[in-house]
C-alpha cells in the first residue's frame, strides 16, 4: 500500500490521514456534514469508545488508525481498527508500538527550542480515521470540547516537555509516561499543550467527512 500521510492540525477541525491514490472517492459538489457523538476515553490501557454518533452513520464501517514509517522507497505500516456498529465504536489501542514506527520527540519543527528531560525519547501521534465497507477512508474522528482538542500520543519512555517552543510560541506542560498519553491542545488562541486534563470540560467525538479539497491537497 502506497500510503501518503498528511497532517492538518492546530484547529478545531480534525486531523486526516489519506491514500493519495483515492482522489476519485468524493465528488467536487459533495455536501459535507459534520456530526457529533458521545465520547468515553479510558486510560491504562487506552480505550476510545464513541456512542450516539449523528450524521453519516450509514457510510462508516470501521474506525481505524495507522502507524507508519519510510523505508527504502516504501511505507511499512501497522493498522488497528474497530467495527462501527450501533452508532459508534470501541477502539482498543495496542499496549506497545515497535521502535521503528516512532520518531525522535526532539527532532521536529513543532518542538524546536522546547526543553525536554530526555532528548532520546521517541513518540508517535495517531489520528482515528473513518473507513467505509470497501476500506476506503471517508473521514476522520476528532475529540473536542469547547476549549480543547485531544491528541493521542505514544511514548517509548517517561519524559517531560515543559517550556515554550520556537514554533509559534506554543507553551508545553507535558509529563509523558511510557505508553499512550492524552495531550490536550488549547483552542481559541491560547497556544498551550498539556497532559493535565482540563477541569469542567465535556469532550465529544467530532466526525468530519474527508473533502475533495483535502484529497487534492494531500501531496502539497
Name the least confident of 52-56, 77-81, 170-174. Answer: 52-56
Interval 181-208: pLDDT, tens = 999 999 988 889 999 999 999 999 999 8
More confident residue, 2 or 142: 142
What the block records as the C-alpha cell of 58 is: 450509514
Interval 139-162: pLDDT, tens = 899 999 999 999 999 999 999 999
The percentage of the chain sitting over the pLDDT mark of 70, rounded to a whole number, equals 77
For residues 1 and 178, give the distance between their C-alpha atoms in angstroms, rounded to a whole number. 30
Interval 4-54: pLDDT, tens = 332 233 222 333 332 323 333 333 334 445 789 999 999 889 999 999 998
DSSP state of 94: P
For residues 149 and 44, give the distance between their C-alpha atoms in angstroms, rounded to a whole number. 20
HSE, CB side, 13 Å, CA atoms: give it for residue 156: 16
User: In the predicted model, is pLDDT for residue 93 greater than 60?
Assistant: yes
pLDDT of residue 189: 81
More confident residue, 123 or 105: 123
pLDDT of residue 29: 37
For residues 103 and 156, give the distance between their C-alpha atoms in angstroms, rounded to a whole number. 10
Amino acid at each position: 500500500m502506497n500510503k501518503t500521510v498528511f497532517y492538518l492540525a492546530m484547529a478545531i477541525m480534525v486531523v486526516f490521514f489519506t491514500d493519495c491514490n483515492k482522489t476519485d472517492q468524493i465528488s467536487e459538489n459533495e455536501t459535507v456534514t459534520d456530526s457529533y457523538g458521545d465520547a468515553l476515553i479510558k486510560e491504562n490501557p487506552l480505550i476510545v469508545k464513541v456512542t450516539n454518533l449523528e450524521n453519516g452513520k450509514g457510510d462508516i464501517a470501521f474506525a481505524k488508525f495507522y502507524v507508519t514509517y519510510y523505508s527504502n522507497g516504501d511505507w511499512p505500516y501497522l493498522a488497528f481498527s474497530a467495527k462501527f456498529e450501533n452508532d459508534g465504536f470501541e477502539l482498543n489501542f495496542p499496549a506497545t508500538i515497535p521502535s521503528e514506527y516512532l520518531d525522535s520527540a526532539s527532532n521536529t519543527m513543532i518542538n524546536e527550542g522546547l526543553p525536554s528531560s530526555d532528548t532520546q525519547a521517541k513518540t508517535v501521534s495517531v489520528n482515528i480515521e473513518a473507513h467505509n465497507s470497501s476500506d476506503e477512508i471517508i473521514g476522520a474522528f476528532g475529540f473536542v470540547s469547547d476549549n480543547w482538542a485531544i491528541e493521542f500520543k505514544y511514548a517509548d519512555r517517561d519524559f517531560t516537555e515543559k517550556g515554550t517552543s520556537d514554533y509559534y510560541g506554543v507553551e508545553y506542560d507535558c509529563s509523558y509516561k511510557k505508553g499512550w498519553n492524552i495531550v490536550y491542545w488549547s483552542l481559541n488562541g491560547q497556544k498551550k499543550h498539556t497532559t493535565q486534563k482540563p477541569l469542567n470540560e465535556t469532550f465529544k467525538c467530532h466526525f468530519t467527512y474527508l473533502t475533495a479539497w483535502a484529497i487534492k491537497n494531500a501531496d502539497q
